[in-house]
Amino acid sequence: MATGTKKLGKLYGVGVGPGDPELITLKGLKVLKAVSYVFTASSAKNEYSLSSRTIEPHLDDKKQLINLSFSMQKDTAVREKYWEKNSLLVLEKLREGKDVAFVTVGDPMTYSTFGYLMRTILEKEPETDIEIIPGITSYQAAAAAAKVVLSENNQNLFVMSGVEGIELLKNAPSDFLRSLNNIVVLKVYKKYGKIMKSLKELGLVDRAILVSNCTLKNETIKLGPELDGTSNQYPPYFSLLLIRKNEN
Ligand X SMILES: C[S@@+](CC[C@H](N)C(=O)[O-])C[C@H]1O[C@@H](n2cnc3c(N)ncnc32)[C@H](O)[C@@H]1O
Among the listed residues 207, 215, 243, 244, the single contact to ligand X using CB under 6 A: 215
* C-alpha closest to that of 35 among 129, 114, 105: 129
Give the count of alpha carbons within 13 A of 170, CB side only: 15
Binding of ligand X by 51 (CB under 6 A): no
- By beta-carbon proximity to ligand X, the closer residue of 9 and 235 is 235
Q: Which residues contact 165 (CB under 8 A, 6 or more apart)?
A: 191, 194, 195, 198
**Binding of residue 112 to ligand X (CB under 6 A):** yes
Is 214 a binder of ligand X (CB under 6 A)? yes
Of 10 and 187, nearer to ligand X (C-beta) is 187
Q: Which residues, 6+ apart, have CB-to-CB distance to 185 below 8 Å?
A: 160, 161, 162, 166, 195, 240, 241, 243
- Nearer to ligand X by Cβ, of 205 and 242: the residue is 242
Distance, CA of 30 to CA of 158 (rounded, Å): 32
- Residue 25 within binding range of ligand X, rule CB under 6 A: no
Query: What's the closest the beta carbon of residue 178 comes to ligand X, in angstroms?
Result: 25
> Residue 218, exposed/middle/buried by CB under 10 A (0-12, 13-18, 19+)?
exposed
Query: Torsions phi, psi of 217, nearest 5?
Result: -60, -35
Q: Is 213 in the site for ligand X (CB under 6 A)?
A: yes
Residue 182 is a binding residue for ligand X (CB under 6 A): no
CB closer to ligand X, 8 vs 142: 142
CB of 239 to ligand X, least distance (A): 5
- Min dist CB 186 to ligand X, Å, is 4
Phi, psi for residue 230 in degrees, rounded to 5: -95, -25
110 binds ligand X (CB under 6 A): yes
Q: Which parts of this chain interact with ligand X (CB under 6 A)?
A: 18-19, 104-107, 110-112, 137-138, 142, 186-187, 189, 211-216, 237-240
